[in-house]
Structure 1
Amino acid sequence: MGGGALANWIVLGLVFAAVVLVVLALAPVLTARGNIKSRLARQGGGAAIDGGPGSIRNDLITSRWAQLLHEIEERGLSLSDDASNKIADKLQRAGFDQPWAPRAFTLARAIGTLSLPIFVVTVIAAGGNWPAPVKLYMMIMGSAVAGLYLPGIIVGSRAENRAEEILNGFPDTLDLLLVCLEAGLGIDAAFSRVGSEIVGSHPLLAKLFGQVSLELRAGRSREVALRLLAKKSGVPEITAFTTLIIQSDKLGASVASALRIYASEMREARRLRAEEKAHRIPVLLSIPLVCFLLPTMVAVLMLPAAIGMKNQMAMVDKQRQAR
């Protein structure tokens, strides 16, 4: 009883410390935001500031995540990582292209590593059934490892789903881009036009093409803008597409002719992917058939024979008892 009570007090102390740390981290941000709103309200400009779209720089400054990360780093906790470039590339492929995304990812990993063991110990303490020390140590270490790798798994899954969605809509986008080029539009205007046309059907590609158009308007070279497009998408087919446009532009070849051939190859590749998935269906169906249908069929076929053997053995026992 004494050891259980001590463990409960330890768990409650850890939970209290975690709550205090979270409150101390969030309080300055919320207080500063409340002070700003109150000053704006006194000046009569609060509604206009909150309701307006704002600029990119203003959104970055007033972002809650950016403020929270800034407050945490000001308190002495460094969120920078040695592999920040690789993390940034991985987050970009998953759609997290904010400047503070790598630091938020590091913070999420740290929170997961600390919070999951505390949650496991809290659940065990609430149940009152404490396992052996070795088992408890393994559970705490396993939950810590899971909290460390869970954000990476989520980001990787999101990147795969995003790449698949981009790849499925890329042939249609190529056809529309080819139509724009053959109609007389330049490559820069074609990117802008296609990006505005596919907002409803392929929003991810529309966002990528819109970013390319904005970067070209801002004065960035076409080669750099296209290479950034390939880097943000994380799809090999788009990398090959950007390389094709860059090489055709440098060599003076017809971009429309090259895109016509490449669009045909992309449609063929999409058809082959669909056929591959269709051929995998019988193999995938065999697993539930073997696991669920086969035991049922065996039971149905063997049940009459089992009943007959049981009746025959009962008759033999009766004959033996009669003798």
Structure 2
Amino acid sequence: MPSDAVGSIIEPSFLIAILVAVAVFATVFTLLPAFGGHPLKSRMKSVALEREELRARQRARLAAEADKRRRGLREHQSEGMRAIVDRLDLRRALADDAAVAKLRTAGFRGQNPLTKFLFFRLVLPFVTLLLAGVYIFMLGGLPEQPLFVKAFVCIIAAYAGFYAPVLYVSNLAAKRKKSIQLAWPDALDLMLICVESGMSIEAAFRRVADEIGAQSVALAEELVLTNAELSFLQERRQAYENFAARTGLETVKSVTQALIQAERYGTPVSHALRVLADESREMRMNEAEKKAAALPPKLTVPMILFFIPVLFAVILGPAGIQIKQQGLF
């Protein structure tokens, strides 16, 4: 009987079954933590997630407080400037339609930029007059000039401070108009493609603003603003007219007039956009040709002053050296 038990134990089939059972048990024991998860690791993971959430809430709270402080400071400064401007009634004295239009063309909108513009036009003349007076009468500037000339220089400095904000706004407006004018033909081509593909004007403006932003941020901003005005203004014609007034370009005004007529009479927009896009591209090419044609007269004086003397020195220099070495002079 014991021999039968030993014989059954040492049979190959029984040994294979035992080995398979041991292998299955080892596999299950090894893979069980992966499926069930370690409780310590799960707790640490939950703690880490909670810590990240607390950090995110803390950062959001600090950012909101900083934004509130900055906004409060700006509002306090704007309130002080507005009080001075309103008390002196500078809008009636210094602000006209041309100044407001220039601010819009430069990208400044709303009442706060106009208030700051009038405030600086009031303050800067006194600042420049004070600086000129300190430099001339206290630091000894222009010592050899008479008193009349010194007073005239101070008046000129005050006059420059009065017109410095106007020059600053005009410079910004010119740069903004140039950026829009350079990118406008490409924007018209993109708008034409969008309209011919079946998009509405609002969707075309939004799509063109996304694409043209890399070339001209000013044009993308104006297109987004026009798209917003098309959504909430009662008359769409007013949105187009505002777009033309903010840019101050005749090419943009022509396109807006075409869009207004297309919406009023139901004419196709794609044909008008195609013609206007060709005209804008031709105008840009004409401007480039005009600049190229004006280049030779501009190079005349630099060539006379810088290139021709160097050319004479290179050509006549060796001959002069040889003549001097031969002792003729």
The aligned residue for residue 92 of structure 2 is 81
Matched, 1:245 2:269: no
The aligned residue for residue 146 of structure 2 is 132
Report the alpha carbon displacement of residue 177 of structure 1 after superposing the two structures with TM: 0.6
Q: What is the DSSP-based 3-state SS (H/G/I as helix, E as strand, rest coil) of the residue aligned with 2:89?
A: coil
Identify the range of structure 1 (236-245 vs 295-304) with the bigger mean alpha-carbon deviation: 295-304
Report the alpha carbon displacement of residue 47 of structure 1 after superposing the two structures with TM: 3.6
Q: What is the DSSP-based 3-state SS (H/G/I as helix, E as strand, rest coil) of the residue aligned with 1:193?
A: helix
Residues 1:127 and 1:46: Cα distance change in structure 2 (over 3 Å): farther
Residues 1:153 and 1:171: Cα distance change in structure 2 (over 3 Å): same
The aligned residue for residue 11 of structure 1 is none
Size of the alignment, in residue pairs?
A: 261
Contact 1:61 1:67 in 2 (8 A): no
What amino acid is aligned across from residue 110 of structure 1 in structure 2? L
Contact 2:85 2:118 in 1 (8 A): no
Deviation readout 1:258-294 (Å, 9 max, x if unpaired): 1011111111221222222222222221121123334
Residues 1:133 and 1:127: Cα distance change in structure 2 (over 3 Å): closer
Contact 2:81 2:115 in 1 (8 A): yes
Residues 1:129 and 1:207: Cα distance change in structure 2 (over 3 Å): closer
2:236 to 198, 218, 222: 222
Q: Percent identity?
A: 28
> TM (normalized to structure 1)?
0.71
What amino acid is aligned across from residue 122 of structure 2 in structure 1? A
Matched, 1:262 2:262: no
Report the alpha carbon displacement of residue 210 of structure 1 after superposing the two structures with TM: 0.4
Mark the runs of 5 or more structure 1 residues left unpaired by the alignment: 1-44, 315-323
Deviation readout 1:237-277 (Å, 9 max, x if unpaired): 11111111112222221101110111111112212222222
Matches for 1:175-194 after TM superposition, within 5 Å: 175-194=189-208
CA RMSD of superposed structures (Å): 3.1
Residues 1:259 and 1:60: Cα distance change in structure 2 (over 3 Å): farther
Deviation readout 1:173-224 (Å, 9 max, x if unpaired): 1111111101111112211222233222321111101001111222432110
The aligned residue for residue 102 of structure 1 is 114
Mark the runs of 5 or more structure 2 residues left unpaired by the alignment: 1-59
The aligned residue for residue 154 of structure 1 is 168
Matches for 1:50-129 after TM superposition, within 5 Å: 50=65, 63=75, 65-73=77-85, 76-82=87-93, 83-124=95-136, 125-127=138-140
Report the alpha carbon displacement of residue 148 of structure 1 after superposing the two structures with TM: 1.5
Residues 1:187 and 1:87: Cα distance change in structure 2 (over 3 Å): same
